[in-house]
Structure 1
């Protein structure tokens, strides 16, 4: 059974303890807002860093770690409900399968977008009803389809004829969404080159589905991860309306539209406004609408702290300058995989330098004319393992100091590897800057 809202609230209350605990725990505030969130995250970072003595700690005790503010996830959910009340979010598990994030979203009533057997299994083990899951993978492994069938996960996407024959063979009772091609040229991560049926092929696919007596219940699209052009949603909704019409003309009555993901925190309101207006124009109220947000929920909720494990001095005799190469205990083969796979540029910030704790001071302290240049590198022996080619700090960073990076919740730890034998699993300290999250978990 899924934990009830009361169960989670009770757990949150029982976990009111100091953040110096190395165990994953929840820390709460009596009020909310950015200031409280910053204080909670800063306190958690400081407590953990001060608990590590680099000269005596055991191997791995100084590893990189996350602080996750579940209050931020909650605020994003409320923001979604305010701006897209018609669209029920199905969180994209692939983005960050953190179990506490999934538990919170489950209690908030979201659905889940799963792309593999493992993701479906993780959600089902939480006690989530299979009707809240969409297997949003147009090209699926046969054994995974059998697993979905055995566990009643009926909603799934397709975009080609072979997938229809596969479904007829393995799961004829499935509820199918025809995923259509969209213009994702303005997106951070383009998906149309891999998935989506062109409008030239949708009529034939619908005819085949009807011939095979399969149940096509809706249309799905995805404007690309990290979309930046609101007009992409408008065109996609118009195309979906066209396919709904094609289906109706041959006797297929569809009832659901899946608007996919692509939502970013920075551009969410204008995106939501265009999408909402398009839905109202092209789809009557009885049509169910779902979405698949991922990074929108978690990107800003996670902060990572990394230890400086080594430093090299780079002296340029010609220019008379000195810079430094800093080596951290995490890099692009670990939680900074987002640099390669998600086109991110994490910004290094100084957490502590010597005995000074400097979290959240860069806004007032980095205008000093005296700065030192650094490049930031990961711990592996691969030359591409670079986090930042050039950055500057007013402080002189040395071995044993800590840096931190904000907005590290999306496509980071989910794609970390064990290359060179480094760990792909890092501790997470949970805090909550929104007490209201626990009170509203049952909504």
Structure 2
């Protein structure tokens, strides 16, 4: 099984009821160890189906538009296309990937707030008409390059956690919206709706209340200018924890009933990215180097399980921030490394740090954690690695993208069929994985000898 990002020829292992993800990972590790290969991803596409059905049950009638930049692997895109999601794209390449799946332009949103002129022209040429905008210069750029553009004004949201200032990296003020509408009228550009975004770090109900009421103000303002407004984008930031989604819906649903009732004819969408893919992917890496150092100030507080001295271990693994951990440069790593090999419960733990292979001081993956003493060749597993890890090619020359092995349980497949979702192109990619499996380096999984 190949499964690299640039390779559309992939396969999906349809797991027998007796096979679980842990067994698949064990077999992959065995094969990669024997052949001296590097790390790999295992993607459980069945979780995408579960998350989509949960979204429909909780968030309907809000339509999800998947953020392609979160994970653009072909298996993910084809499953989500079969499930009927829309797609929020931030570049020409992402739009092309989605269009190659046969997705209609009406289900594609060009969501990048800072767009290149050439990519705006590409959107115009391929019929992707819905774009976001938050300033006058961007508006004029769109007007010059996309005569059929339909804009969503991106308004800023108040950051309760920050306290004093608005979150103004992207988004405009209500006052400036009037100016942008005046400009759009002069340039003969359509404005059809509003977008706002609430970050993962700020999920206070008051933020949604302010954002949705502000959006209503913009809709009312647009009536004065004669714009026909029919779309509200409540942004991204959805986690894949079921409780979080239900909590957000508990806040958002009554607000939408007040400000954008069903009879208003406004289509409400959301950019759900990590919600779908984050927990669906596990990354397996192995240790390529090890260094023991003495520290007068241990990296971690000692517990009853830690070794009595001040010995600290630095482990170097075959992936890093210039590869699958790229999001670590701009965000905190939310997954804790799990040791693959079995070790005794009473085995001493040591303060440890994990580093990528580049020998760059920025290439630190985990600053401190407690691990048993490991050796070169041992494997570590990182859960929740489906978002922000499978994107553009690394700038680190020696880094090679880990292969992706897609799987899905038979029960998930049946659940997808029962829900009425199907895709002809997906059928050719499935192969059955019985309860006794062995990884084949070219063809995926096969019967063990």
The Cα shift of 1:52 comes to 2.9
Q: Which moved more, 1:315-324 or 1:339-348?
A: 315-324
Name the SS of the counterpart of 1:121 in structure 2: helix
Which residue number corresponds to residue 19 of structure 1? none
Which residue number corresponds to residue 77 of structure 2? 102
Q: 1:286-326 deviations in whole A, cap 9, x for unaligned? A: 21111111111111111000011111222469974433221
1:419 matches 2:396: yes
Contact 1:339/1:346 (8 A) holds in 2: no
Name the SS of the counterpart of 1:277 in structure 2: helix
Distance 2:114 2:140 in 1: 12
1:328 matches 2:317: yes
Contact 2:73/2:390 (8 A) holds in 1: no
Q: Which moved more, 1:264-273 or 1:142-151?
A: 264-273
- Give the alignment of 1:157-236 within 5 angstroms: 157-184=132-159, 186=161, 192-225=167-200, 227-236=202-211
The Cα shift of 1:29 comes to 4.1
Name the SS of the counterpart of 2:65 in structure 1: strand
1:349 matches 2:327: no
Which residue number corresponds to residue 298 of structure 1? 277
Distance 1:291 1:184 in 2: 19
- Give the alignment of 1:114-153 within 5 angstroms: 114-153=89-128
The Cα shift of 1:71 comes to 0.8
Which residue number corresponds to residue 272 of structure 1? 249
Distance 2:218 2:224 in 1: 10
Residue 284 to residue 317, structure 1, CA distance change in 2 (3 Å): closer
Residue 279 to residue 30, structure 1, CA distance change in 2 (3 Å): farther
1:379 matches 2:357: yes
Which residue number corresponds to residue 47 of structure 1? 27
Q: 1:312-365 deviations in whole A, cap 9, x for unaligned? A: 22246997443322111011221112222232243111112xxx5x7xxxxxx7
Contact 2:322/2:363 (8 A) holds in 1: yes
1:242 to 217, 240, 246: 217
1:409 to 379, 383, 386: 386
Name the SS of the counterpart of 2:339 in structure 1: strand
Residue 203 to residue 316, structure 1, CA distance change in 2 (3 Å): closer
Which residue number corresponds to residue 428 of structure 1? 404
Contact 2:132/2:154 (8 A) holds in 1: yes
The Cα shift of 1:74 comes to 1.1
Unaligned runs of at least 5 residues, structure 2:
2-8, 298-307, 424-449
The Cα shift of 1:253 comes to 2.2
The Cα shift of 1:377 comes to 1.5
Distance 1:260 1:295 in 2: 12
Name the SS of the counterpart of 1:67 in structure 2: strand
Aligned length: 396
The Cα shift of 1:185 comes to 5.1
Taking structure 2 as the reference length, the TM-score comes to 0.82
The Cα shift of 1:186 comes to 4.5
Unaligned runs of at least 5 residues, structure 1:
1-14, 16-22, 359-364
RMSD value, Cα: 2.5
